[in-house]
């Protein structure tokens, strides 16, 4: 298995994304890629990468059925930042990679995506897109929110107080 270059170059990130970008955290992308190669084998020389805070996935009630459909479970992982914030990370490879990445991007809040090229001297990330607030209209697969009255009626709200 080839060794990944130590250098990561990130290009074309708009200033409004730079302020919250996980890719800009030193060594985060490198750690994700190295961990991936250790656990799953060599990465292809070109692919797409999308990263989203796990808390945003949880707040949406999990991954939508469309995100699950468009992503390969073998190419999804969770990785922590240095301050222990978990991120959902998904790799897109193959013929439909760009199209699938673009659709998934719009379904994940506070996500950012990059085209990745692993060169001999550096890993190059070219900014593709970012989504701050995902469109929830496509989330018809989630159950309706429950009211406080519903939680009281089932006893769930009381059980957490015990």
Read out DSSP for 48-75? EEEEEEHHHHHHTTS--HHHHHHS-GGG
The pTM assigned to this predicted structure is: 0.80
pLDDT in tens, 31-71: 999 998 998 888 999 999 999 999 999 988 899 999 999 99
Q: Could you tell me whether strands 111-118 and 8-11 are parallel, antiparallel, or unpaired per DSSP bridges?
A: unpaired
- Residue 3, domain member (yes or no): no
Instruction: Give the residue numbers spanning the domain of 78.
Output: 8-159
Q: Which residues contact 78 (CB under 8 A, 6 or more apart)?
A: 54, 86, 87, 88, 89
- Residue 117, domain member (yes or no): yes
pLDDT confidence of 22, banded at 50, 70, 90?
very high
pLDDT confidence of 134, banded at 50, 70, 90?
confident
- Residue 47, domain member (yes or no): yes
- Residue 108, domain member (yes or no): yes
| Domains: count for the chain | 1
- Residue 132, domain member (yes or no): yes
């Amino acid at each position: 298995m080839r060794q990944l270059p130590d250098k990561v170059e990130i290009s074309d990130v708009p200033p409004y994304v730079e302020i919250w970008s996980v890719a800009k955290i030193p060594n985060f992308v490198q750690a994700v890629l190295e961990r991936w190669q250790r656990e799953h084998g060599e990465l292809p020389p070109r692919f797409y990468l999308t990263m989203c805070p796990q808390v945003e996935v949880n707040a949406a009630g999990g991954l939508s059925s469309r995100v699950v459909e468009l992503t390969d479970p073998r190419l999804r992982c969770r990785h922590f930042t240095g301050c222990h914030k978990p991120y959902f990370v998904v790799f897109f490879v193959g013929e439909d990679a760009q199209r699938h990445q673009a659709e998934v991007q719009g379904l994940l809040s506070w996500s950012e995506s990059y085209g990745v090229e692993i060169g001999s001297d550096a890993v190059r990330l070219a900014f593709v897109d970012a989504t701050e607030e995902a469109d929830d209209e496509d989330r018809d697969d989630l159950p309706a929110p429950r009211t406080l009255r519903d939680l009281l009626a089932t006893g769930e709200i009381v059980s957490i107080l015990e």
